Amino acid sequence: MDTSVWLLIGALVLLLMAGAAAVLLVRVIRARRLLVDAGIPLRNKALVWASVIYTVSPVDLLPDPVYLDDIGFLLLALRSLHAAAHAAGAGRGRPAAAQTDAGGNLSASGSN
């Protein structure tokens, strides 16, 4: 293959990794307020902090130019945190039981 093709592939991979990192950064910033919520189990909060420490630590499962393990651990921790927050009813200002009525539909308040 020609050198310009390899440069184009490298640039594309770099852009994809930068995009994934930007999305991940936004999700981490949004999750910040969930980390101080009292209704979320400590286990989920600790998992997020452990994944952040793993992301910045020099010890990795895969070599450092490949950030798939770091991104994967952080995404799993954020997914776990958001699932725990949803189960606890955090972020809505109401407990989880008050968000649905007996039929499982959203309450009549009209907010989602």
Q: Which of 111, 50, 52, 41 has the alpha carbon at shortest distance from 83?
A: 41
**Whether pLDDT at 60 is above 50:** yes
**Whether pLDDT at 38 is above 80:** no
**Whether pLDDT at 18 is above 80:** yes
> What pLDDT sits at residue 92?
55
Tell me the per-residue pLDDT of 97-110, one tens digit each, with 9 for 90 and over: 444 444 444 444 44
Tell me the pTM: 0.54
Q: Which of 33, 36, 31, 82 has the alpha carbon at shortest distance from 52?
A: 31
**Residue ranges in the chain assigned as alpha helix (H):** 3-31, 42-56, 68-88, 96-99
